Structure formats: structure tokens, C-alpha cells
Amino acid sequence: MNDNEMPKVSVVIAVYNSEQYLRQCLNSIVGQKLRDIEIICVNDASTDMSLKILDEYMAHDWRVCVLNKENEGLGAAPARNLGLANARGKYISILDSDDFFESEMLEEMFNKAEQTDADIVLCGGTEYDNRTGRNGKVTSISILNKKVIPDKETFSYMDIPNDIFQLSQGMAWNKLYRRAFLDKHNLNFQKIRYTDDAYFSFAHMVLAERIAVVNKKFTHYRVNSGISQTDGLTRYPDSAYLPYVELKKSLEEWGVYDTVKQSFINCAAMFIRYFYDRLDKFEAFKYLHDKLKDEIFKALDIDDNPQKCFYDERLYLWVNLVTENSAEEIAFRAAKIYNPHMTTASLRFPFPFHLVERGKRIVIYGAGLVGRYYISQLLLSGYCDVALWVEYNGPEIDAAKDEDEIEYDIADAITDAIDLKRHPVRMIMPPESILTARYDKVFIAIASEKLKQRALRQLYELGIPAEKIICE
């Protein structure tokens, strides 16, 4: 391909210190069945071996182009925007450097775009558990929500105005964009430290005249990689709401806000709550809580809505919890669940919300300090249904009971924390109870590595499938 030829697809990848996963990502792209592509890798001043790896691939594959830039401290947005500005393909795919992709992804999405003249083509995906190396067991509806896809070859927001933002959450890596469509509207990735692709993705979903879907799991989103976002979220809590402030402003300017208002409110509230649940430093938690209560909920029309406005009752309860209580009151109530004597909200053991979909039924194995922290966060947030709370009663546990009593009734603490009196968790049960329970995942909530391994062995002996067990 010479410089004047237009490739079928430009792949844009922002790269920053991704050496551990970069080869797997690049191998999945250079190995795509669609060969007529250009691969634009933007090195955002990496300090590890990422640039050396990129140069190696560029030397062996003429389709790979490496651009270097200074890091601006604004996340991936500046690198992605630079990649977009240099893209020459008829279509553009914007991928993450720590994920990987099925070899037929670009070919099938390109063909769908050509057949339907779509502005955007979406695909599905799975979460790849970096710790276990297992893939395909968890499929997130946030990547592609099949329940709201219209029965049409192509569609627009007008076909699903109440669900357009529930179709696919604010990520770019499961979408193929027509470059002429992007050029027409000239929107860039938002220059914020986290969630820089949310505004870009949601705005284009509304602007697209034709959206098409390839209902296949092409993308593999890496989770449990050991690189936690918690510290970053704590430093930049404004990332929770900034995409939605900008999105609402644009929707109003385009004259479509009233049409998609309910979808917007539910999406914004769910997204913000996702961040809210993960802040493990009280200063950041209080900052975001007060910002939501005093300003953002009103600005985004999230407050003062009837329950029927929300697609999930738990979201309605959470909004009211925030608006009716101070950060200190919520922190105190949360602390009472896992220890009546604790009066701080310092979450030493944050629950790994990213490993399970909202609304799933889970079992918590462990009634020590970690288990109590997990239970408190789940019951306060309402993120998942706690089907069962279990604990091993063998001799290894007896010595710990004096300092951290295991068997106690938490019904009063639950009622005191949030108005969820119907919650089924009342007593801690033996692990054998799992065999008769209805559940989706078992979380091992134990700090001791020795006891954690013992719990794993017991679950395997009980016949609990490995893919249902989550042990960090």
C-alpha cells in the first residue's frame, strides 16, 4: 500500500506502559483475517519496554506505524485523538493495548458496515480473567446488551430512545466507525484522566443515522490484571460525572435530550454509582458524595425522579440514599455492618465489583474482617444479591473467634444502613449450604493465603465449578 491508498480499516491503539500485554494485543491485530488495514500505535511516553516492542513490530510489518508523543497526564485521550488525526482508513477501530481480539473481528465488522452502509458497527465480547487465564465464561451486557437490539438490520436512537445508552456502555473498543461519519461531527476523546471514551462513544451513538450489530464475542476485555484503578479513581473522582455533564450539554444542543432523557438518567446514575462504590479513601468519597448531592444530581436531572423512572429499583434507592444523607452518615452506617465499633469508611478490602455483573446472585465465603467488608459494601450498594454467607467451622478458625466473632445476626445492621428489610442474609451458614442455593458466583473473602487455599479445596471437593469461584 502506498501513502495515497486508503486502507479498509485504521486501527488506533494508545500505548502507555503496556509491555506485559502488548504482544498479545498486537498479535491479535496483525493476525486479523482482514489484511488491508493500517495499525497506528501511539506511544504516550512509555517508560517500560513498550516502545521497543512497538518498533519491533513496525520493523516486521509494514502496516504498523508508531507515533510518539509527550505524556500530558490526561489519560489515553490525547494519544487516541492523535491516532484519529492520522488515520486514513475508510473505517476506524479504536482498541486498548491490554486487550485482545478474535481474528475475524475486523473482517466481519467491515463486511457488515459495507453491506448496511452503517455509521457504527457494534460487536459483543467477554471478560478475560488475567489471573486464571480463562476466557469466555463471563459475558458482560455492558459490552453489548442483546435485549435492547431492535429487530432491524440498521437502526438509530429513534428506534430505541429509552435504551440507546443501555445498548452498549461507554467504551470504544467494541465499535467500528465510518471515518467520514467521525470527520463530519469532529468529536474528540474527552481529555480527562479516566473514562475518556464515554462521551465519545455515547455521543456518536446518538449522532449515528445507521447502527448495525455483529452479534459475536470478538473482543476480550482483560480484568483482574493486578493493575488497580482504585488509586486513580481516588485521585480523580470528577471522572465519575464529567462525561455526562458534557453529554447532556451536547444532547440539549442537538435538540434530542428530551427524547433520550430516561435512558440518559439511568445510564448516568449507574455509571456514577459504579465509581462511587469503588472509592476507598474517605476524602475522595466525601468529595464525590457532596458534589453529587449539592450539584451534579440536579444538573443531570437524576434527583427528584419517581421510582418508575429508574430501570432498577436499587438505583432509585441509591440516589435517595445519597440525597438524604451526609457522607459521614453513610460511612458510619456502612461501618456498623462489618463492625459495630468502627466509625470510619476506610475500605481496606474493597469488593471487586468489576468481576461480576450487577444484579447477580453471589455467595460470600468468609465471615472474618474481609467477609464483613464485602458484605457491608454489597448490602449498602445493592450492586448484587447476596444469596448466602458461609464460613468454614473447622479447627483453623476456632483460634480467631475470640478477636473476630464469626457467628452473629446482621439483620439490625442492614436495616440501620439501608431500607432493605427483605434481604435474605440473616445467618452465617456452613459451606455445604451452597449445594442447595441458587447463585451465580462464589467470592472467597479471606485475607490469609493458607485459609484461602483451604477454602478453595473445600469448594472443589463440594463440586463447585471452578468458573463460578472468584478468589483474589
1 pLDDT higher than 90? no
pLDDT at 392: 80
CATH 3.30.70.1290 fits 353-470, yes or no: no
Burial class (CB in 10 A: 0-12, 13-18, 19+), 440: middle
- Across residues 204-209, what is the average pLDDT? 98
Q: How far apart are CA 154 and CA 210, in angstroms?
A: 5
User: CB–CB of 267/309 below 8 Å?
Assistant: no
Report pLDDT for 333: 64
pLDDT interval class at 346 (50, 70, 90): very low
CATH class of 9-227: alpha beta
Element (H, E) at 138: strand 135-138
Residue type at position 80: R
Q: Which helix (H) or strand (E) holds 250?
A: helix 242-253
pLDDT at 397: 39
**Residue range 38-53, pLDDT digits in tens:** 999 999 999 999 999 9
pLDDT tens-digit map of 447-472: 888 888 899 999 999 999 999 999 87
Q: What number of other Cβ atoms are within 10 A of residue 308's Cβ?
A: 9
- Are residues 119 and 197 in contact, defined by beta-carbon separation less than 8 angstroms? no
Distance CA 433, CA 441 (A): 14
Task: Write the pLDDT tens digit of every residue in 391-406.
Answer: 886 544 333 333 333 3
The string of pLDDT tens digits covering residues 255-270 is 999 999 999 999 999 9
CB atoms within 10 A of CB 364: 26
**Domain edges within the chain:** 9-227, 237-324, 353-470
| Counts for the chain of helices (H) and strands (E), in that order | 17, 13
Least confident of 101-110, 186-195, 279-288, 390-399: 390-399
69-71-76 Cα angle (round to 5): 95
